[in-house]
Structure 1
Amino acid sequence: MEPPRVAMLGGTFDPVHLGHLRSAVELLEALRLDRVHMVPAKVPPLRGTPQVTPEERLALLRLGIGDTPGLVADPRELERDGPSYSADTLASLREEYGRQARLVMALGHDAFLRLADWHSPQRLFQLAHLVVIERPGSDAPLPSALAKLVEGREVAGPEALMRYPAGGLLRLALPTRMAVSATEVRRRLASDRSVRYLLPEAVEARIHSNLLYRCR
């Protein structure tokens, strides 16, 4: 029996949009994963405070995922005190799935460029593989601290990555690359402009019914 293949896709999801969800589905397919845990951050250490409560962002995420096979709205960072450190979340997932599970942390290219500034960045590789979801034009040289951190870790494809439980780095170009921005969604909502086809219908309906992201 093959070890489970599991990914963590964290973020503020402020709010979750179709770009987040499509990326999760394509990640599931590209790496032949059993499950993608989408984990809203309670207190993101390197970002400003999200506009709505963690509980509301989780509720929106659950609505967005609906019954999509393989995607899970994971509340574990909301259940911990203090900042939402990815290393702690990965440690929890590693304990849940076991030492031989192929555990992946997926992140976007912009977040990857700041990885050396994260809490315990070396520990991330001890617990999981990192998969960087690339965007067009993202081939500039890495900052020196990041280059040193990832030296010797990069592999050429998913199967090479999955030979081991953790420790590798894969840059992955997903097929769709939907250019949806949560910042732009919030701007549109604040100015009462349409967000149709940027959000799942159930997410849009809850945002409107609860008057979320309106100018205060």
Structure 2
Amino acid sequence: MKPLGLFGGTFDPIHIGHLSVAWEAAELLDAEVRLMPANVPPHRAAPTATATQRVDMLRAALRGQSRLALDTRELDRSGPSYTIDTLGEFRREFGERPLVLLLGADAFAGLRSWHRWRDLFDLTHIGVINRPGVDACIPVELERAVAARRTDDPSVIRAQSAGRVIELAVTPLEVSATRIRELLAEGRDPRYLLPGGLFDDPALLAPYRATP
């Protein structure tokens, strides 16, 4: 069964680094990937753009292809966006379909700070997005918890609904949403750091422009 990959973030704004990672992960896993904008991220400051503005940007960025899709369920809930709650919703909706939570290597290394982190493996696989040749520093407790779950075979992910950890080596693109917001606030045009669809409507990037 084709896995369903889940890629969350504030997407404030969505940029080519996000899209490239999600696309390569989808290819490596032969999966559909859903991008899920977070409502109130527990570990970060509130986004600059509103939920509606971020959804509009994502819709514009995802036009013209079918491998990546938008999922707004975390925006439909009030309060913090706890991943364990979102995964429970997906599991109830999709039954035994393999789910793969896509995390950057740094986020994975900090997994122990997540709400009910050990329960994640009952609901999903974890795809650790890493740059080729770069080994993340994994805390000893976390490594002990996942050592027996590791696999490098995507067919294992497709054969089981949850519980495994797979490393996904993707092309590194050092793109920073913070830097993009700074450039836009300065009145500059980060043309090739953002998907082209975001420039079709000037209102899409208005949340980051300096007020005249």
- TM-score tier by shorter-chain length is over 0.9
**In the alignment, is the contact (CA less than 8 A) between 2:3 and 2:157 conserved in 1?**
no
1:39 Cα deviation (Å)? 0.2
1:138 Cα deviation (Å)? 3.4
**In the alignment, is the contact (CA less than 8 A) between 1:39 and 1:77 conserved in 2?**
yes
State the Cα RMSD in Å.
1.7
1:97 and 2:101 are equivalent in the alignment: no
Determine the C-alpha separation between the residues in 2 that align with 1:204 and 1:145.
45
Which consecutive aligned stretches of 4+ in structure 1 deviate over 6 angstroms post-superposition?
none
Residue of structure 1 equivalent to 2:55: 58
TM-score, with structure 1 as normaliser:
0.90
* Higher helix residue share: 2
Determine the C-alpha separation between the residues in 2 that align with 1:140 and 1:178.
17
**In the alignment, is the contact (CA less than 8 A) between 2:106 and 2:136 conserved in 1?**
no
Give, as a single letter, the amino acid of the residue that structure 1 aligns with 2:14: V
1:182 and 2:177 are equivalent in the alignment: yes
1:17 and 2:19 are equivalent in the alignment: no
TM-score, with structure 2 as normaliser:
0.92
Residue of structure 2 equivalent to 1:6: 4
Structure 1: state its 5+ residue gaps. Answer: none
1:38 and 2:38 are equivalent in the alignment: no
Summarize the alignment of residues 60-139 of structure 1 with structure 2, pairs less than 5 Å apart.
60-98=57-95, 100-136=96-132, 138-139=134-135
Equivalenced residue count is 211
1:191 and 2:212 are equivalent in the alignment: no
Say which of 160, 166, 177 aligns to 2:162: 166
Determine the C-alpha separation between the residues in 1 that align with 2:105 and 2:13.
19
In structure 2, the CA distance between the partners of 1:128 and 1:206, relative to structure 1 (3 Å rule), is same
1:151 Cα deviation (Å)? 3.0
Determine the C-alpha separation between the residues in 1 that align with 2:197 and 2:122.
38
Determine the C-alpha separation between the residues in 1 that align with 2:30 and 2:198.
27
Structure 2: state its 5+ residue gaps. Answer: none
Identity of aligned residues (%): 42
